[in-house]
Structure 1
Amino acid sequence: MEIGTGLTFYASRALVFNPDAANNFQEDKSLEAILPLRIGYRYQKPEGGFFFRVGYTPAFNLFLGSEDSPKFHPLWGGISLGKSF
């Protein structure tokens, strides 16, 4: 069994309509973060060889630069196949 989490920061930039601005648009910049969670299963022999993993990886989008509440993204997952040595 595998469990884990992380934190990824990124800068977001968008044009937002503003009737008071000179050209009716203003640039909206913010710092945001994604908090991924992971629960999964890993099969790997101690002596090496073929391995595989399968995991469920939901995530929260954290809007650090605004008043928005975190947004939950429940439908993420993954499969890994490989060879260990």
Structure 2
Amino acid sequence: MKKLLGLKFAIFLLIMSTQTFAQESTRERGRGVYVELFGNGLGYSFNYDQRFDKRFDGLGFKAGLSYFAIDGNSVATLPVGLNYLLGKNGKYFEMGAGATFLRAEDSTNAFAVGDSRSVGTGTVGHMIFGYRREPEEGGFLFRASMTPLFGQGTFFPFWFGISLGYAF
């Protein structure tokens, strides 16, 4: 009986130490989720952002998702990219680059029920130059960026985005 109790106690300590380590490693790495208006998702997008190293500045990545529909037409976007944060104490200059994958559909065909015609798919390149407020202890995340868009004969040098979210 004592051996069984000792084994249970050892397993309990192992689980607790693993959870403590997981919590500490979460606080060491900059991560965040946010909603971006305009910016790389073109209209709006829900995004996840994380640093590669266990720090709050440096190289990281972001990935997002957006979908909007108006009058039978819909557009889905998937912005992905690399970014680099320069700064400290939760205030950073952000720069980066990536691509936004697009898929547009037209469902206004009145002759076939449930038929949707794909208008097209494509990719738009984007850059990021902006300010990021991301507290090291976690909490409210704010971003304001100039995000030029380019691709296939198109260039929008003055495209902007603003983001609100949560850092953890």
TM-score (norm 2): 0.31
Instruction: Give the equivalent residue in structure 1 for 2:154.
Output: 71
Deviation digits for residues 35-85 of structure 1 (CA, Å, limit 9, x no counterpart): 1111111111111111211100011122xxxxxxx2211231111112223
Are residues 1:37 and 2:127 paired?
yes
What SS does structure 2 have at the residue aligned with 1:75?
coil
| Partner Cα distance (1:42, 1:55) in 2 | 8
Distance 1:7 1:47, change over 3 A: same
* Larger RCO (CA within 8 A; separation ≥ 6): 1
How much has 1:32 moved relative to structure 2?
4.7
What SS does structure 1 have at the residue aligned with 2:124?
strand
One-letter amino acid of the counterpart of residue 132, structure 2: R
How much has 1:9 moved relative to structure 2?
4.9
Q: Kindly indicate which of the two structures has a greater share of residues assigned to strand.
A: 1
Q: How many residues are aligned here?
A: 62
8 Å CA contact 1:44–1:52 kept in 2: the answer is yes
The structure whose Rg is larger is 2
Deviation digits for residues 5-60 of structure 1 (CA, Å, limit 9, x no counterpart): 11245579xxxxxxxxxxxxxxxxx8753111111111111111112111000111
User: Please, what is the CA RMSD of the aligned residues?
Assistant: 2.4
Gaps of 5+ in 2: 1-92, 105-119
| Partner Cα distance (1:33, 1:60) in 2 | 9
Gaps of 5+ in 1: 13-29, 63-69
Identity %: 43
Within a 5 Å distance, the mapping from 1:1-40 to structure 2 comes to 1-9=93-101, 32-40=122-130
Q: Kindly indicate which of the two structures has a greater share of residues assigned to helix.
A: 2
TM-score (norm 1): 0.57
